[in-house]
Amino acid sequence: MKADKREEALSRAQNLFWAKGYHATSLKDLEAALDMRPGSIYAAFDSKEALFLEALERYAREGAARFDTLRARQASPLAALAAHLRSFADLGRREDPARACMMVKTVLEAADDPVLSDRAETLLADTEARFTAAFQDAQAKGEIAPELNTAKLGRRYFAEIGGLRAYAQRPGSAQAVAEMAEELAREVEALRIEPA
């Protein structure tokens, strides 16, 4: 299978798994979404589980890339963290496959499946570490108070996004989600102190 065709198929699988979760997505669903017959799917991706894992990695990579782009474009780490929160403001109006995080959904849905939950957990830890690193950077640059616990800030930030995105899954939440994202962004910005 050509590489770009495979990538296209993987993207479709990602969207389907993100929307429906692992268990509720059948091979029939995948056959339809990827427009591939079972044999081709297995030739390209080995198994449903392997395909899911690859889709999950892709999801995590995309998210990390978005955050890294913000870090590169924003004037400071704290500004990037705030901008990242604001990027969820229109969550309720987007047409994404789902609103909640696919990694969080996986940890919650497949808690008793070690292969899936361990991988999702690792990717979540990476994500939290990215946030923590941004807070550390902000602290190193004197953007936030030196006595703040950056690990704690990273965890809290991470949990807030999880809560916001889970909330966004609820119907009719668009306006509330927009407000909450803005509120959270302002709280992050409020951590800024005068340069020493």
Give the total of residues touching its own copies (CB under 8 A): 38
CB nearer DNA, residue 44 or residue 64: 44
- Could you tell which of DNA, its own copies, none binds residue 48, using a CB distance below 5 to 8 A set by kind? DNA
115 is an interface residue for DNA by CB under 7 A: no
In the complex, the smallest distance separating the C-beta of residue 98 from its own copies, rounded to whole angstroms, is 6
C-alpha 43/C-alpha 11 separation (Å) is 17
44 is an interface residue for DNA by CB under 7 A: yes
In the complex, the smallest distance separating the C-beta of residue 22 from its own copies, rounded to whole angstroms, is 8
Q: What SS3 string covers the chain?
A: CCHHHHHHHHHHHHHHHHHHCCCCCCHHHHHHHHCCCHHHHHHHHCCHHHHHHHHHHHHHHHHHHHHHHHHHHCCCHHHHHHHHHHCCCCHHHCCCCCCCCHHHHHHHHCCCCHHHHHHHHHHHHHHHHHHHHHHHHHHHCCCECCCCCHHHHHHHHHHHHHHHHHHHCCCCCHHHHHHHHHHHHHHHHCCECCCC
Q: Which of 40, 87, 136, 169 binds DNA (CB under 7 A)?
A: 40
In the complex, the smallest distance separating the C-beta of residue 37 from DNA, rounded to whole angstroms, is 4
Q: Which of 44, 108, 133, 191 binds its own copies (CB under 8 A)?
A: 108
Contacting positions for DNA (CB under 7 A): 1, 5, 25-28, 36-40, 42-44, 47-49
By CB under 8 A, name the binding residues for its own copies: 19-21, 23-24, 98, 100, 104-105, 107-113, 121, 124-125, 152, 155-156, 158-164, 166-167, 169-171, 176, 179-180, 183
